[in-house]
Structure 1
Amino acid sequence: MTMSINEHGPHGPQGLMDSGSGLEPQPTPVAPTDAQALREAFGRFPSGVIAVCGMVDDRPVGMAVSSFTSVSLAPPLVSVCLQTSSRTWPKLRQLPRLGLSVLGEQQGEVCRGLAGAEETRFAEVHWEATGEGAVVLPGAVTWYTCTLRAELPAGDHTIALLEIDRLWTLPSAEPLVFHGSRFRRLDDGDRSAVPA
């Protein structure tokens, strides 16, 4: 079955659906200049949550981000997107090493803490620093230590391209998932039913 996409969306205008199709009527399209609608649309894509942290003046500094992407295997590169209004990123970008922690499913409170006031972000967060000043968070499913290689302006965000120096991973651990402005867990049902 093929489906066409036009100005009315992927299934045609609202209310013109075949009642026997089993498909839900589509909402009326809006312009991407509607910031709230755009934020809600972006929030429909589930993502992991990453803590980006390092030592600044002998204390941990960091923040939580949900826009993390694997970029390249050779060289090993990842990217994160950071708001240009961030007061934390200018401190972190100067460091020789950064720690990236992919938060685990039990770390919702850790994420909330890292999204709070900068001076109290690590008050209830257990952390460890490497010899090079990267900060990682125990309980995470994966840790990377990275070096900043490039920054690209992208509207109201900056894309930071990071090269991985070392990594550790816990294959059996489950990640924290952010979707629709809520923390969620992966379904632990039968994964053999998922098509390859």
Structure 2
Amino acid sequence: MSSVTIDPARMRQVMGHFATGVTVITAVHDGEPVGMACQSFTSLSLEPAYISFAPALSSTTWPRIRAAHKFAVNILAADQQDVCRAMGRSGGDKFADVAWEKGANGAPLLGGSITWIEADVEHVLPGGDHEIVIGKVSALELPRDAEPLLFYKGAYAGLAG
């Protein structure tokens, strides 16, 4: 087995060429809404219905979402860059200017999102400087038909018509 060292900055640069959708993972912890922007999200299995995302070990929000055990994935629309920025910052009231409603599992469902997926934390696995979260889907909804918010090469992007 070869021992190759990959420069983290180069890894970020190369992986930035893979366009991703932008999500916000939300939950309620100690009676307060919590949320974090997340690009590392995917559908994992149809039967059973599982989804996955990978929060950084350095995240201060992820431990509160994990403790809540129930969460929602909000897939953002192209016109929700402000929501992404709010949920991507540290500290403060991230929900101050963000419309939301409580989902069936109690997690915040963000207004204007394309899709809401509610889930329970099923497994948490190690993944280097991240954890790999597998969630069992409990509910899903398509509240809005809109273009997605994408991230590509370190910036917001849209679909080419």
TM-score between the two structures when normalised by the length of structure 2: 0.92
The whole-number CA distance in structure 2 between the counterparts of 1:53 and 1:118 is 15
C-alpha contact (below 8 Å) 2:119/2:136 kept by paired residues: yes
* CA distance in structure 2 between the partners assigned to 1:118 and 1:136 by the alignment: 20
Q: Compute the RMSD of aligned alpha carbons.
A: 1.5
SS at match of 1:121: coil
Identity between Structure 1 and Structure 2 (%): 35
- Residue 47 of structure 2 aligns with an amino acid whose one-letter code is A
Q: Which runs of 5+ in 2 are unaligned?
A: none
State the one-letter code of the partner of 2:136: E
SS of 1:82's equivalent? Answer: coil
Larger Rg computed on CA atoms: 1
* 8 Å Cα contact 1:32/1:38 also seen in 2: no
**DSSP-derived class of the 1:120 partner:** coil
Amino acid in structure 1 at the alignment position of 2:19 = P
Conservation of the 8 A alpha-carbon contact between 1:55 and 1:129:
no
Name 1:161's counterpart in structure 2: 134
Question: What do residues 37-87 of structure 1 show as CA deviations (whole Å, max 9, x unaligned)?
Answer: 111111110000110001122221010000011110000011001101111
- In the other structure, the counterpart of 1:57 is 30
Q: RCO greater where, 1 or 2, for CA within 8 Å and sep 6 or more? A: 2
Matches within 5 A, 1:2-151: 33-151=6-124
Consecutive unaligned residues of structure 1, counting only runs of 5 or more, are 1-30, 189-196
4+ residue stretches of structure 1 with deviation over 6 A? none
Listed one character per residue, the Cα deviations across residues 132-175 of structure 1 (whole Å, up to 9, x for unaligned) are 32111011111011001001101000000011110001463211
Matched, 1:179 2:147: no
Q: Which amino acid in the other structure matches residue 111 of structure 1?
A: C
SS at match of 2:68: coil
User: Contact 1:52/1:64 (CA < 8 Å) preserved in 2?
Assistant: yes
**Is contact 1:76–1:163 with CA below 8 Å preserved after alignment?**
yes
Q: Write the letter of the residue equivalent to 2:120.
A: T
* SS at 1:111 equivalent: helix
Higher strand share: 2
Paired position in structure 2 for 1:191? none
The CA distance in 1 between the partners of 2:77 and 2:42, in whole Å, is: 17
C-alpha distance 118-50 of structure 1, shift in aligned 2 (>3 A)? same
Q: Give the conservation status (yes or no) of the 8 Å contact 1:96–1:132.
A: no
